[in-house]
Structure formats: structure tokens, C-alpha cells
Structure 1
Amino acid sequence: MIVVTAPTSGIGRQVVDNLLADGAEVRVVARDPARLEPGVAEKVGIVQGSHSDPAVVAEAFAGADAVFWLVPADPQAPSVHQAYSGFAAPAIEAFTEQKVGRVVGISALGRGTPQAAHAGHVTATLAMDDRIAATGVPYRALTMPSFMDNTLRQVQQIKENGTFLGPSVPDRKAPAVATRDIAAVAARQLRNPAWTGFEEVPVLGPEDLTYAEMAAIISEVLGKPVRYQQVPGEAYKANMMRFSSEAMAQALLDMALAKNEGLDNGVTRTPQSSTPTTFRQWCTEILKPAVERA
């Protein structure tokens, strides 16, 4: 039995699809089962509720060979550490109490870099990883750079204004990864009973690109000029505070500034950490249809 948390998220739903395609027995933890992908509810066990609830995780993790762990960080949380370690505390206890076989979690690059101490969401994620690992449950933390799929949040901006915006510097090369590749790696790790202990597993995509290079690729794929525009940090934070608490908006800005200083550049890409989807392929198959629908 493999338990998937956040099964309606961008990564979680693809993990479920991968596992079901391989014939795995799957149980999901879902606040709203109606949001599961069409046809999924009939193929999985469902525990309704939040995976921050002690009773929910006790029920969901009972008899679990493996758990896919993803924190949907609350944008209104009073602190970034509450959003991660605070949310995860009941599950961390349940991993041990329910004798979960192994855990695969969504994490971030940056451990061991000077930037990691003040990197907002990344700092909090790595601290949560340490708490999970301290239980002794076999744990694979999938460490990622920024997601290609984050660009989908700006489809309307791209279509109407020919720009996409962010606090990142335009000229630093960095890795980026497609969520479908993350899900494929996660599903392979979840199905593999052979590993033990705690390790980080970098998932880096196939290439490093600057935001300026990404804009050029988007332009070529869409057949129209698109440029990347860097937004001043305080303006970015003010915009994020339309949707987030000040603490969580600051954490997003801190993460972006740390990436500007090389947070995601500390791991050398290897054949094992490379994933197949290029940014051009992702733009052709995912971004372009989304822009055309917008």
C-alpha cells in the first residue's frame, strides 16, 4: 500500500497517475475527494481530511509500505517554519507510530550552501527534512530547483502583455524541472523497497538556463515576442501580500534572493539527477496549449 498526500496538487496527481499505471495499490489523503482527477476515486482508497490532522494521518498511514509526502504550504501561516514543520508534526509522529516502511518527500536544493540559512521556504523545508530523518524512517528527500510549471501562473500575462515577471535576476543560469519528471522519480522511489536510511535525491532537469534564455525559448515556441522582466524585491513582496501573510511573502522573497545568489547551483548534474523534459519541450507541450486556451 502506497499513501499519497496532496493527491490533487500539480505533483501529487501525477504521482497517483504513475502509481496506478504501474498497478500499485494506492490510498490518498484528500480534503476534498471531488477534486481528484476523473476516474481516480474508483481506483484508490480515500481518507478524507488534512494530512496535518493526527487522526487523519493515523488512519491513512496504517499499514503503509510507503508514503509520498508533500506540504501544501499555507500562504496565511504565521511563520514559514509553522507552514512546514508545524504542519508536518502529526505526520512525523505517525511515520513511527504506524511503522511506515519508507517516505519520499518533496524538498529543495540548497543544503550545504551559504545561502540555505536564509532562504525562506527552502530553509524551512530542509529543517522539516531533518525532523523526518531523525525519526529513523527510511527517507528520500527529492531536492528540486524551480519548477517549469510555475510559469503557468503567468499565462494571462504572457498572452496579453508578452512578459513574465519575477524577482529573479535574468542572467544567472540555473536548473529547472518539469513536475511530470518529479512525479516519475517519486513514483519510482515509492515502488522501490530496497533503499534504507536518509538521502537527498537531486532532480535537476536536463539543462541550466537563464530567465533571458527561457524568454527566448517561449518566444520561439509561441511565435511572438516574450521577455522576462525582473521585479524589485519589495514590489514582489507587496504583490505576494495580496495573497499571503507578511511572513510567508517574506519567505518567498528570501528564497528568490537566495536563488539569485546561487542556492540552486550547488549540485553538479549527473545522468542520475538529470530528467528528460527540456524547457522547450515543456513549452511546446504544456505552456503553448495553456496560452492558446487562456
Structure 2
Amino acid sequence: MIVITAPTGKIGHQVLDRVVTAGRPVRVVARDPAKLPLRVRDRVEVVEGSHGDPKVLDRAFEGADDVFWLLPTDRTAATAHDAYTGFTRPAADALREQGVKRVVGVSALGRGTAWAGRAGHVTASLAMDDLIAGTGVAFRALALPGFMDNVLRQTRAIKEQGAFYDVLPSDRRLPSVATRDIAAVAARLLLDGSWTGQDTVPLLGPEDLSYDDMAAVVSDVLGTTVVYRRMPEQAMREFLTGSGASEGMAQSILDMMTAKEHGLDDGVVRTPQHADDTPTTFRQWCEDTLRPAVLAA
């Protein structure tokens, strides 16, 4: 039995599709089962509720061999550690009690770098990994950079203003990965019952790009000029809190971006295997995903 958490999210739903297609028994934990796609709803066992609830986890993990662990977004948590380790602690107990064999978790790049301990969301994510690993379960932490798919949050700004925004310098090159590639690696691990031990799996995408590089690609794909505009940190803070984030979570995001600017994502050297695992280029992603979204906005 494979258990998938956050099965309606941007990564989780793609993992679910791949695992269901493979024909394995699947159980999902969903707050709102009605959000599950019709094509899979009748092919999976559903445990309704939050995967932060110990009672829900006991039902979900009973008899499970493999778990895909992905946190829900909690912009209102007081701190990132509340959102990550606080939410995950009941799962660690349930993993032990129910004898789950393997966990594939969504995490972040940065372990072993000078910024790992002061990187906001990433620091909390690495602490979450340590909590899961401490149960003794076989564990693969998918260590991720930024997502290409996050650009979709700015679809309307791209269409109406010809611009997208962030707080990083325009020329700072960083890795980025498509969520479909993350889902492919996660599903492959979930379907492979042979691995043991604990390890980190960096997923870097095929290339490092700056926001200026990305703007040039977006402009070319859309056939219109799109530019990147760097926001002052205070403006970003006000945007985040104005859109519902707590002060603590807003600061955590800013801390993470500062750490990325200064080398958080630079600790892993890209190899041909990384490109094989995550082959989607930003141009391909823009053609397949961003362009249709902008046209429909």
C-alpha cells in the first residue's frame, strides 16, 4: 500500500496520477475528497482529514509500505518550524507505530551549506527531514530548488504589466525544477520497493538561470517583452503579510531568499544524472505550461 499526502496539490496530484496508472494499491489523505480528480477518485482509498491529525494518520498509515510526505501550505503559522516540524511530529510517531517501511519526502536544497541554519523555510524543512529520519524509516528527501511552476502565480502580472517580481538580484543564477519532474522521481521511488537506508536526492533541473535569463525566455515564448523587476525587501514583506502570511512566515520567506542569494542552492554540483532525472528546461515549461496559462488569463 502506497499512501500519498497532499494529493490535490501541484506536486501531489501528479504523483498520484503516476502511481495510480502503475496499478498499485493507493491510499490518499485529503481534507476535501471532492477535490480529487474524477479519473482517480474511484481507484484509491480515501482517508478524509488532515495529515497533521494523529487519528487520521493512524488510519492512513495502517498497513502502509510507502508514504509520500508533503506538507500543506500554512501561511498563517507563527513560525516556519511550527509549519514544518510541528505539523510533522504526529507523522513521525505514526511512522514508528504503524511500521511504515519507506518515506519519500519533499524537502529543499541547502544541507551542509553555510546558510543552512538561517534559511527560513529551508532550515525548517531540513529539521523536518531530521525528524522523519529519526524514526529509523528508510527515507529519501527530495532536495529541491525553486519551482518553475511558481511563475504561474504571476500570470496576470506577466499578461497585464509585462513583468514579474521577486527580491533576488536580476543576474543571480540559480537552479529551478518543474514540478512534473519532481513527481516523476517521487513516483519512481514509491513504486520501487527495493531501496533501503536514508539519503538526500537533489533535483536541480537541467540548467541554472537568472531572472533576467528567465525574462528573456518568457519574452521569446510569448512573443512580447516581459521583464523582471526586483522588489525591495520591505515591499515584499508588505505584499506577503497583506496577502495573508503571518509576520513570522513572511520573515522566513525573506530569510530563505537571502540565503539563496548568498549560496544556499550552490552546494550540489550538477551532473548528467541530475539532468536525466529532471529534464524539463525552462523554455519547454514555458511553452507547455506558462504560455497557455497567460493566454487564458
TM-score (norm 2): 0.98
Gaps of 5+ in 1: none
Q: List aligned pairs for 1:1-294, cutoff 5 A.
A: 1-242=1-242, 243-274=244-275, 275-294=278-297
SS at the partner of 2:46? strand
How far apart in 2 are the matches of 1:253 and 1:79?
Answer: 13
What's the CA shift for 1:225?
0.2
How far apart in 2 are the matches of 1:254 and 1:69?
Answer: 24
How far apart in 2 are the matches of 1:256 and 1:181?
Answer: 23
Preserved CA contact (<8 Å) 1:63 1:98: yes
Per-residue CA deviation, residues 223-276 of structure 1 (Å, 9 max, x unaligned), is 000001111111101110011100000001111111111111110112222211
SS at the partner of 1:68? strand
What's the CA shift for 1:135?
0.9
How far apart in 2 are the matches of 1:59 and 1:270?
Answer: 41
Per-residue CA deviation, residues 117-166 of structure 1 (Å, 9 max, x unaligned), is 11100000000101110110001000000000000000000000000000
Between 1:268-277 and 1:39-48, the stretch displaced more is: 268-277
Preserved CA contact (<8 Å) 1:3 1:64: yes
Preserved CA contact (<8 Å) 1:84 1:128: yes
How far apart in 2 are the matches of 1:63 and 1:19?
Answer: 17
Preserved CA contact (<8 Å) 1:145 1:175: yes
How far apart in 1 are the matches of 2:223 and 2:287?
Answer: 11
Q: CA RMSD in A?
A: 0.7
How far apart in 1 are the matches of 2:246 and 2:269?
Answer: 35
Preserved CA contact (<8 Å) 1:201 1:273: no
Gaps of 5+ in 2: none
SS at the partner of 1:194? coil
Preserved CA contact (<8 Å) 1:84 1:125: yes
How many equivalent pairs are there?
A: 294
What is the letter of the counterpart of residue 251 of structure 2? Q
How far apart in 2 are the matches of 1:90 and 1:272?
Answer: 35
SS at the partner of 1:67? strand
How far apart in 1 are the matches of 2:141 and 2:101?
Answer: 15
How far apart in 2 are the matches of 1:271 and 1:96?
Answer: 36
Sequence identity (%): 58
SS at the partner of 1:43? coil
What is the letter of the counterpart of residue 279 of structure 1? F
SS at the partner of 1:40? helix
How far apart in 1 are the matches of 2:270 and 2:35?
Answer: 36
How far apart in 1 are the matches of 2:39 and 2:173?
Answer: 40
How far apart in 2 are the matches of 1:4 and 1:237?
Answer: 33
